[in-house]
Structure 1
Amino acid sequence: MQVEAGTSKLIYLYAFIPTEEYEENPLPHLKGIDPQHSMECIVFDQITAITCLVKHEDFSEEVLQKKVENMGWLQDKAFHHHEKMNALHNRYTVIPLKFGTLYENEDRVKEVMDTNKEGIMAQFIKLKNQQEWNVKIYTDKKKFIEEVEVSSPEIEKKKQEIKDLPRGKQYFEKKKMSQFVENEADKEIDRFCECFHEQMTSYSKEEEVKKNWERNLTGRKDDMCWNGAYLIPKEKVEQTLAFIKKIKDDHENFTFEITGPWPAYHFSNFTERGETNGG
């Protein structure tokens, strides 16, 4: 594949894989993000890029910025990208690129591979036989607060302290009590999640703590209290999932959402800043 700058085609870049693995297991025919073109490979020494030709009028930077505002189009193309990344991950050691990574021509793709060769090769070594698993933890905070109020030694101690105060002061301290109870509940939730994360580090090669989502994003009635990504060696996956199940079964106040295995989306930056787009 060779696309010169100024033509009507761009190169959509999905991922990098080791050339050795590609030669042992050639890429099957897969329809590209532009359905008129198949996914193709650009081989550069020990690194192979998985790509697809796309029309400039559909994927130029200006057009793409407008198209991502169309949720129907975005969902369709993002699903394609995600689905194909999973297919690649099932066959190869994959460094996944972000959705919408585009280059003007093959020379620019090779330039990226050449410039970042050392980092890409290091990532291949790190990611071989690894899987990303995501763990989200939820709790019904209102219900949790109610249970903490009757079970926490700290809250019971506070109630006793208030009882010993003069009647006038009791009134003001009782008004503060609800905030105190909520703070204690938050501490209990944080302790549980941090303890879980600490235990997960004994199974994972790398971890990333992500921002919790608000209810309007999760569509749930309970609250997300933990959102973590974990890079797990394949041989430890079964053991890791058994550990999570035990924690889940032992703590009814918390709901776990475990997803995977995924390509290493959170653990595959091959430059200091991470390669996020083309040019």
Structure 2
Amino acid sequence: MSVEKNHTDYLYVYGIIPKEELSKSVLPLIIGIDQQPSTAMKFNDIVAIATPVNPQKFSQQNIDSLSKNIDWLQENAIHHHSCIEELNRNFTILPMSFCTIFQNEQKLSNLLKERYDELFGKLQTLKGKEEWNLKVFCKLETAKHFVLENNPSIIELKDSLASMPKGKQFLMKKKIDLKIGEEIVKEFGKWQAEIQKYLTSFIEDSSLRSNWGKDVTGRADDMIINCDFFVEKKMEDEFISAIHECEKLFSKRGCTFQVTGPWPPYHFSKMGSDD
């Protein structure tokens, strides 16, 4: 059965891959966001992976309206991610943002041509590497106990407390409680630096993200670190082992580590403010 392509379709782009890798792996058939099969658009040594989409359904105005619908946004963002993950399994991919759409092939071709050096160069930096995410959760009571026993400022206040009259001890205890809160925040910053230093030998780069609240995580403990790491594939086993060793060191401080990946290189593929 032959299928005629509607040349009025827009093109929804999922990502860009190196042309040379197409000779080593079969391009998976991706059914796009508008239920159309994927197409490969080549320019020199790079290939854009796209699917046709209906111009009315995927006009900027309609997308702006649909994006206010949380269910639509979640469903299609997950689909976008799934398509990129599929490509990421066998190819170096420069992933595009959700709803990266071109009005026609010529506009996409112009972008590939105008930014060819930048796109090709970025693919070279991504080759042979993968993204991992580390979230560190902490039981605050355990962290508080650790600070009480190990923080020099708190230990000094505690020592001075014993020699004070009972009337002053009440005020000093309040001061210690406030100081503990301040020192815990400082400790979390130090712990982040310690973990980063511990993993330095196994990573190419890192990107710190905002922590999620309990309303998002659904956990009883607090997220204190949310960080992405850029890791060479050949160092994956060493990186994971280092994470586990690091968790053992921090367990006495009330910390639990959660590492996930490998992910497409979302946080290490940015090229500029207009991407």
TM-score, normalisation: structure 2: 0.90
- 2:130 is aligned to 131
Please give the alpha-carbon distance, in whole angstroms, between the structure 2 residues aligned to 1:2 and 1:199. 54
- 1:18 is aligned to 18
- 1:243 matched to 2:233? The reply is no
State the AA in 2 paired with 1:21: E
Give the match's secondary structure for 1:49.
Answer: strand
Please give the alpha-carbon distance, in whole angstroms, between the structure 2 residues aligned to 1:123 and 1:155. 48
Aligned residue-pair number: 270
> Offset of 1:243 from its aligned partner?
0.7
- 2:83 is aligned to 84
1:103-122 alignment runs, 5 A limit: 103-122=102-121
- Does the 8 Å CA contact 2:208/2:226 hold for their aligned counterparts? yes
- 1:256 matched to 2:245? The reply is no
- Does the 8 Å CA contact 1:3/1:10 hold for their aligned counterparts? no
Name stretches of at least 5 consecutive residues in structure 2 with no aligned partner: none
Please give the alpha-carbon distance, in whole angstroms, between the structure 2 residues aligned to 1:200 and 1:137. 14
Please give the alpha-carbon distance, in whole angstroms, between the structure 2 residues aligned to 1:148 and 1:28. 52
1:52-96 CA-to-partner distances (Å, cap 9, x unmatched) read 111122221121122222222222211111111111111111000
> Offset of 1:165 from its aligned partner?
5.0
Give the match's secondary structure for 1:226.
Answer: strand
- Does the 8 Å CA contact 1:145/1:185 hold for their aligned counterparts? yes
- 2:33 is aligned to 33
Please give the alpha-carbon distance, in whole angstroms, between the structure 2 residues aligned to 1:259 and 1:218. 15
- 1:267 is aligned to 268
1:117-266 alignment runs, 5 A limit: 117-164=116-163, 169-252=168-251, 253-266=254-267
- Superposed CA RMSD: 2.1
Distance 1:260 1:32, change over 3 A: same
- Does the 8 Å CA contact 1:207/1:229 hold for their aligned counterparts? yes
Distance 1:264 1:244, change over 3 A: same
Please give the alpha-carbon distance, in whole angstroms, between the structure 2 residues aligned to 1:152 and 1:206. 30
TM-score, normalisation: structure 1: 0.89
> Offset of 1:195 from its aligned partner?
0.6
Please give the alpha-carbon distance, in whole angstroms, between the structure 1 residues aligned to 2:267 and 2:109. 24
- Does the 8 Å CA contact 1:13/1:101 hold for their aligned counterparts? yes
- Does the 8 Å CA contact 1:2/1:105 hold for their aligned counterparts? no
Give the match's secondary structure for 2:202.
Answer: coil
Distance 1:194 1:3, change over 3 A: farther
- Does the 8 Å CA contact 2:28/2:86 hold for their aligned counterparts? no
- Does the 8 Å CA contact 1:14/1:85 hold for their aligned counterparts? yes
Please give the alpha-carbon distance, in whole angstroms, between the structure 2 residues aligned to 1:266 and 1:148. 33
* Higher alpha-carbon deviation: 198-207 or 84-93: 198-207
- 2:56 is aligned to 57
Distance 1:89 1:208, change over 3 A: same
> Offset of 1:168 from its aligned partner?
5.4
1:186-235 CA-to-partner distances (Å, cap 9, x unmatched) read 22222222110122222111111111122222222211111111110010
Please give the alpha-carbon distance, in whole angstroms, between the structure 1 residues aligned to 2:148 and 2:176. 10
State the AA in 1 paired with 2:31: K
Give the match's secondary structure for 1:221.
Answer: coil
State the AA in 2 paired with 1:96: P
* Higher alpha-carbon deviation: 130-139 or 249-258: 249-258
Please give the alpha-carbon distance, in whole angstroms, between the structure 2 residues aligned to 1:251 and 1:75. 35
> Offset of 1:164 from its aligned partner?
4.4
Give the match's secondary structure for 2:33.
Answer: coil
* Higher alpha-carbon deviation: 21-30 or 205-214: 21-30
- Does the 8 Å CA contact 1:215/1:223 hold for their aligned counterparts? yes
Name stretches of at least 5 consecutive residues in structure 1 with no aligned partner: none
